[in-house]
Amino acid sequence: MIFSSALVFFLILETQARNSTYRNPILPGFHPDPSCIFIADWDDTFFCASSSFLVFPGIPIHASRDLQKWKLISNALSRPTQVPGIDTAKRATSGIWASTIRYREGTFYVVTSLVYDDYPKNATNRFDSFIITSKNPYNSASWSDPIHFNFSGYDTSPFWDDDGTLYITGTHAWEVEPGIQMITLDMQDGRVGNEVNIWNGTGASAPEGPHLYKKDGYYYLIIAEGGTGPGHMATMARSKSITGPYDPHPHNPVLTNANSTQYFQNVGHVDLFQDANDNWWAVALSVRQGPDGSYPMGRETSLTPVTWNKGEWPIFQNVTGHMSGWYPEPKNPVEGGEGSLIGSAAHVDFASESSLGPEFVHWRVRVDGSYVISAPGHANSLQLSSSLSNLTGRDGRSAEPGGQTFISRRQVHSLFSFSATLDISSLRSYEAEVGVSVFLDQLHHWDLGIVMGSLASPPKTSGYGGPASNSTTLVPYLRLRGITTVPTFVFPDLHIVPFPTGWSGQKITLQITASNITHYTFSAGPAGQESLMQHIGTAPGLGLTWGFTGTLLGVYATTNGGLGKFKTYVSDWEYVPQGQVVD
C-alpha cells in the first residue's frame, strides 16, 4: 500500500494528538495509598483520596479535570468527633490507613480504617473500620460522621455488584492471617456477612490493598504485595465468580520497580479508573529515593496509563518521572473547593477574619485555643499558645495530654524554601522555645529554635526538657537539634549559637531550605534584613526516611516540659517552590 506524504503527515499528527507527556508524581509529598475515580456527572472530574495516619485534618481529597492540575478541595476528616481515637493512638504508624474513594448514585463514599498500630497484631480492637459519605466533596463539613462496621482489618475497599450488593474487601494483620478477605455490608443497619478468603496473592509478604473491578464478565482483583518498601509490587487475579476461585495474572507482578535502578521506588498499592474517553489509568504509591537511600518526602502518588483490551489482562506502563500516556485534553483547574493547587507557592499573612486553609495540618488533633488568627493587638499574625510538650514529647510516641503546639503544611517539592517570622518577646522562662521544623513524626524531626538559657546554664544541646535554671538572667540562643532512628537512634547535637547582640528586640525570621535532594539547610536573621541571614547548620534527609508518611514544614512553641506557658506570634509564612527532581 502506498501512502501520500500528506496522509503520513496526518497520521503523525493524529498520533501526537492522542498522546501526552506528563510528570510524576501527580500528588507529590505525603500523599500515600492513593485511590481515584472519574465522575462524568461532576463536570468530567477526577477525585483522589490519600492516607493521612496521625495527621489531622485527615484524608485529603484532591480534584482535577485533566489529571495534571490537582487541587485540594477538602479533607474528609475535619472534625475531631469523627475520629476521636486519633488523639489516643500511639506510634507514628497508627491512624488512618489506606482509604478508598468511590461514587454511586449521587453519593461519594470513603471507606477506611483507623489503626492502633501499637496494639498486638491479633487484638480485635486494633482496627476500627468505617465509611463516611458526602454529597459535595468540595466542602469538608459535608463529609458525614462514620458508619462503623465489624471488620478486624485494614485497607478496606467497597465494590457494588450488579444486583446492588455491597462487598468490602480488606486484609487482616498479615503476620497473623495472610490473604484478602471479603464480607458483605448492609449500609442501613451495619450488618456484615461471613468473611470469605478470596485470594492469598502470589506468595510474597503482606498481601493487602485490595480493589475489585468487574469487566467483560470477570471480577478482577488487584492487590499489593511485598511490603511497602523495596519489594513493593502490584499483583492481579480474576474470577467469573466474585467469591472465587481467583486465577492469577500469568505475568505477575503487573507493576513494580523492585530490583531496578529507577529513581522511583517502592511502587505499588494500585487503584484503577477510566477517563471520559474510556482510557484506563492506574495510580500507585511511590517514593523518590536519593543516592544515599533517603526519601524524606515519603510515599507519593504517581500515575501510569494502562492498556486493557476486552477480555484480556491489563498491561501497565512502568512508573517513571517523565511519562507518556493517553491524551486528556488540558482543562482549567476545578472551581470551588477549599484549598489550592498542589505545588503552589504560599505566602500566608494571617489576615483578620481569614481561616487556616485545608493545607494546614497538625500532629493529631489540635488543642482548642492554641492557634488564633490576628489576635487583638497582633494583626496579620498567628498566635501560638505554647504546649508543655515539644515535638518529641515524653517518649517520641505518646499522645501528649495537652497536645503539641505545631502547625504545618506538607513538603511538596524536592527543592524549596520555607520561612516564618517569629516574635520572641514573650519568651521569659528557661527552655521556652519557638521555632521551625521539618517533621516526619515524633521520633524523626529537625528543629531550628530560638530558646531561652543563661550564660551560666545554656539550653540543653541534647535530650528534651530538664530542670529549670536557677539563673535570673535569661538570654536567647539559636539551637539546631533533632531526633532520628536512622541509621541509629540518636539525639544529634547539631549547633547551638549565641544570639547576635544586634538582633535583640527584633522579630526573627527562621528559614529551612532544601537546595539538594539529600540535606536541609537552616538559617536565621532579623526580619526584613535578608543580608543579615546567618547559616546555622544542615541536617540529613536520611534521618527523616522512615515509616509510612512524609515530611511536614511548620512552626512550634513549647516550654520543653518547664513552667512559664507563653504566647508567641508568627507572621509572613512563606513557602517558595524551587524545583522538582523526577529523575
With residue 13 as reference, give the H or E element that holds it.
helix 5-17
* Distances, alpha carbon 141 to alpha carbons 55, 73, 82, 96, 136, in Å: 18, 12, 11, 18, 9
Q: How far apart are CA 557 and CA 420, in angstroms?
A: 13
Q: How far apart are CA 220 and CA 212, in angstroms?
A: 6
DSSP string, 282-337: EEEEEEE--TTS--TT-SEEEEEEEE--TTS--EEPPP-SEEEEE-PPP-PPPP-S
267 close to 33: Cβ distance less than 8 angstroms? no
Q: What are phi and psi of 413, to 5 degrees?
A: -135, 145
Q: How far apart are CA 400 and CA 395, in angstroms?
A: 10
410, three cell numbers: 506538607
- Looking at the DSSP bridge assignments, the partners of residue 169 are 157, 182
* Residue type at position 170: G
- Looking at the DSSP bridge assignments, the partners of residue 284 are 302
Integer-rounded Cα Rg, in Å, for the chain is: 25
Nearest alpha-carbon partner for 319 in 332, 337, 301: 301
* Distances, alpha carbon 152 to alpha carbons 113, 156, 202, 329, 418, in Å: 9, 10, 23, 43, 41
Q: How far apart are CA 348 and CA 333, in angstroms?
A: 21
Give the strand order in the sheet containing 433-441: 406-410, 552-558, 433-441, 444-453, 475-483, 493-498
Bond preceding residue 245 cis, omega within 30 of 0:
yes
Nearest alpha-carbon partner for 157 in 248, 53, 281, 270: 270
Nearest alpha-carbon partner for 60 in 28, 12, 84, 23: 28
Nearest alpha-carbon partner for 494 in 537, 455, 453: 537
23 close to 323: Cβ distance less than 8 angstroms? yes
Q: Is 226 left (phi over 0), alpha (psi -120 to 50) or beta?
A: left
227 close to 285: Cβ distance less than 8 angstroms? no
Residues annotated as catalytic are 33, 208
